[in-house]
Amino acid sequence: MKQIIVLATRNKGKTREIRELLKGFPIDIKNLDDFGPIPEVIEDGETFDDNAYKKASFTAKILGYPAMADDSGLCVEALDGAPGVYSARYAGKNATDADNVNKMLDELQGKENRNAAFKCVISIAVPTGAALTYEGECKGVITKEAFGDNGFGYDPLFFYPELNKTFAQLTIQEKGRVSHRGKALKEIADEIDKIIEWIDIIMPKFQPAEYKEDKS
Ligand code: IMP
């Protein structure tokens, strides 16, 4: 039987990439949309690490399954590492990808240094709170206008020099080979057997209380 792991996200772009990169392994990847309404986790950590662990452990505790969470974002040199953990809400609480892209272009107007890095931390947690952590990083350059229609988030602005394209001009497979998330998932894929064994050992096994037969 396949091990169920719940992805602690409703982000369709992330779910698609993670499912694609972990296909073929004996795991059944669900996401939050496969369950009924559940409380939202508050992402108030100061690092990708904090937020990834918060999302994974909260989801595992609430649903009783092992959970995997990705916390990721774009760190731009000329903005002192911003938006970083605030990447999803850079242009405001309910910002769309287009709002964030436009704000980034505005903030970098006239700036010479356009170096940036996507960072990703993936946490795999079980309901007791025990967790494993994986990381990945990818360096690139922020373009002066958007190019490409694939991917999500800041992909149309993230130029990857080695392939001479933005992430939004790559296929999901091409992006997965070089991206921050792809690198973290490669580490997971490389030790998936050990991870499944770890989950099996560490998942709480519920033993109902014994009772005496009523002989009256
Ligand atoms: P999170 O859900 O808090 O991890 O938000 C991550 C945010 O960072 C996303 O909403 C995107 O704006 C951005 N981001 C993370 N990974 C990527 C990527 O692979 N491509 C483009 N944008 C990304």
- pLDDT score recorded for residue 13: 83
- For 22-33, the pLDDT digits (tens) are 889 999 999 999
Output the average pLDDT for the chain.
94
Task: Quote the tokens at residue 214.
Answer: 């009523």
Q: Which CATH class, in words, describes the domain spanning 3-202?
A: alpha beta
**71 labelled catalytic:** yes
Cα angle 180, 66, 31 (rounded to 5 degrees) comes to: 65
72 secondary structure, DSSP code: E
pLDDT at 36: 86
Catalytic-labelled residue, pool 71, 149, 193, 200: 71
- What ligand 1 atom has the least distance to the C-alpha of 9? 2
**pLDDT computed for residue 90 by the predictor:** 98
Find the length of the chain.
Answer: 216
147 lines ligand 1 (CB under 6 A): no
Cis preceding linkage at 156, omega within 30:
no
Q: Is 154 a pocket residue for ligand 1 (Cβ < 6 Å)?
A: yes
Element (H, E) at 101: helix 97-107
- Going from the Cα of 35 to the center of ligand 1, the distance in angstroms, rounded, reads 23
Residue boundaries of the structural domains of the chain = 3-202
What pLDDT is stored for residue 176 in this prediction?
93
If pLDDT is split at 50, 70 and 90, which confidence band does 128 have?
A: very high
pLDDT at 121 (0 to 100): 98
DSSP assignment of 155-187: GGGEEEGGGTEEGGGS-HHHHHHHSHHHHHHHH
